[in-house]
């Protein structure tokens, strides 16, 4: 599933091609995504100028003059910039054609993504209750500490809760907890402020590095320019069960939490 770094990589890829451009046409080949594509989408956005391409959590936000397109890549989606008149493929469900001739093409084999329209993005039910962005000034160890008091939930589940902080998906939760030296099953409410400060910095560091490297290479993900990300080449624990820890040489262990792979060092993470 594309995570925050992959979505941010996509945003940075499409922004130079679409910002300031007028939408000349919308082609919806298959409206049956996670939620149906609005039947009047073409009518709402055609002829409108794109003011900016932003991101909130894992949602791409295409701001127009009088509203916002909310795009989610789902489990297998990608949004690519097409400049060579390439014909659509089997799972290319939506084209956003710009006055320049460039096309933003949405591909989603599993159709778990979405294209929605809103007049007020901050009050949209998918957006309004989200926690702070992990790379923003609003996110820090103090916030995590305050929100975790009396919480018995495991710390890995806690930091993956989008109401606490957005965008810390499974891969990056594994990596950040390893860097902070925290066992993924430790109760969130039993972690000290100092350790939360280290964890917040580890989350920030991990996501920033992933964005710089273009996201994590996953089977279903390609960047807007069609090139895969490269962060998977430097993962420290995720997908490395049985390998020696990079810090102490202890063999990494794997457990399942909420049906997700969780890899950790039994010596370094307490």
pLDDT, tens digit (0-9, with 9 covering 90-100), for 66-93:
999 999 999 989 999 998 888 999 999 9
Count of domains forming the chain: 2
Percent of the chain with pLDDT over 90: 86
Q: Are residues 145 and 244 in the same domain?
A: yes
SS3 at position 253: strand
Confirm whether residue 151 is marked as ligand binding.
yes
The tens digit of pLDDT for each residue in 243-264 reads 999 999 999 999 999 999 999 9
Answer whether residue 235 is part of any domain.
yes
CATH for 193:
1.10.8.50
Instruction: Answer whether residue 132 shows pLDDT above 70.
Output: yes
Q: Are residues 67 and 109 in the same domain?
A: yes
Answer whether residue 45 is part of any domain.
yes
Of the candidates 56, 58, 156, 198, the residue annotated as catalytic is 58
- Residue finishing a domain among 123, 152, 185: 123
Instruction: Answer whether residue 220 shows pLDDT above 60.
Output: no
The set of residues, in sequence order, having a beta carbon less than 8 Å from that of 98 and lying 6+ positions away, is 17, 18, 21, 22, 23, 24, 50, 104
Answer whether residue 97 is part of any domain.
yes
Please report the pLDDT score of residue 218 as a whole number.
45
Instruction: Answer whether residue 120 shows pLDDT above 90.
Output: yes
Q: Are residues 112 and 153 in the same domain?
A: no
Answer whether residue 150 is part of any domain.
yes
Q: Are residues 86 and 197 in the same domain?
A: no
Strand segments, DSSP code E, in the chain are: 23-28, 52-56, 59-63, 68-72, 78-82, 92-98, 103-107, 114-118, 253-257, 260-264
pTM of the model: 0.90
Tokens at 86, concatenated? 């390439």
Confirm whether residue 80 is marked as ligand binding.
no
Please report the pLDDT score of residue 212 as a whole number.
85
Number of H helices, E strands in the chain: 6, 10
Long-range CB pairs of 215-220 (<8 Å, 24+ gap) are 215/2, 215/3, 215/5, 215/6, 215/8, 215/9, 216/3, 216/5, 216/6, 216/171, 218/1, 218/2, 218/6, 220/1, 220/2, 220/75, 220/76, 220/77, 220/78, 220/109, 220/110
Instruction: Answer whether residue 114 shows pLDDT above 90.
Output: yes
Q: Judge whether 3 counts as a catalytic residue.
A: yes
Answer whether residue 217 is part of any domain.
yes
Answer whether residue 128 is part of any domain.
no
Please report the pLDDT score of residue 84 as a whole number.
86
Of the candidates 44, 111, 260, 267, the residue annotated as catalytic is 260
Distances (CA, A) of 161 to 12, 154, 156, 164: 25, 11, 9, 5
Please report the pLDDT score of residue 85 as a whole number.
86
- Residue finishing a domain among 123, 155, 187: 123
Answer whether residue 67 is part of any domain.
yes
Q: Which structural domain range is residue 17 located in?
A: 4-123
Q: Are residues 61 and 33 in the same domain?
A: yes
Q: Are residues 158 and 118 in the same domain?
A: no
Instruction: Answer whether residue 222 shows pLDDT above 60.
Output: no
Q: Are residues 110 and 32 in the same domain?
A: yes
Q: Give the chain's mean pLDDT.
A: 93
Q: Judge whether 154 counts as a catalytic residue.
A: no
Instruction: Answer whether residue 219 shows pLDDT above 50.
Output: no
**Helices marked H in 28-92:** 41-45
CB atoms within 10 A of CB 195: 19
CATH for 95:
3.20.190.10
Residue 118, strand partner residues? 68
Instruction: Answer whether residue 228 shows pLDDT above 80.
Output: no
- Residue finishing a domain among 123, 157, 186: 123
């Amino acid at each position: 599933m594309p995570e925050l770094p992959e979505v941010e990589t996509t945003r940075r890829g499409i922004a130079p091609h679409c910002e300031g451009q007028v939408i000349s046409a919308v082609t919806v080949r298959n409206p049956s995504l996670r939620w149906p594509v609005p039947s009047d989408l073409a009518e709402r956005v055609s002829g409108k100028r794109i003011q900016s391409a932003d991101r909130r959590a894992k949602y791409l936000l295409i701001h127009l003059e009088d509203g916002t397109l909310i795009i989610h890549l789902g489990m297998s989606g990608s949004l690519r910039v097409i400049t060579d008149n390439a014909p659509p493929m089997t799972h290319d469900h939506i084209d956003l054609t710009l006055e320049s001739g460039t096309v933003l093409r949405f591909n989603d084999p599993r159709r778990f993504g979405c294209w929605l329209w809103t007049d007020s993005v901050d009050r949209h039910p998918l957006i309004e209750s989200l926690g702070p962005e992990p790379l923003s000034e609003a996110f820090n160890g103090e916030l995590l500490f305050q929100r975790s008091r009396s919480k018995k939930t495991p710390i890995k589940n806690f930091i993956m809760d989008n109401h606490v902080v957005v965008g810390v998906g499974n891969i990056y939760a594994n990596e950040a907890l390893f860097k902070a030296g925290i066992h993924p099953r430790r109760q969130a409410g039993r972690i000290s402020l100092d350790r939360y400060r280290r964890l917040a910095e580890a989350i920030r560091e991990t996501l920033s590095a992933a964005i710089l490297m273009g996201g994590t290479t996953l089977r279903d993900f390609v960047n807007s320019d069609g090139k895969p990300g490269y962060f998977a080449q430097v993962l420290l624990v995720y997908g490395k069960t049985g390998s020696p820890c990079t810090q102490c040489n202890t063999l990494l262990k794997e457990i399942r939490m909420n049906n997700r792979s969780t890899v950790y060092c039994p010596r370094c993470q307490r």
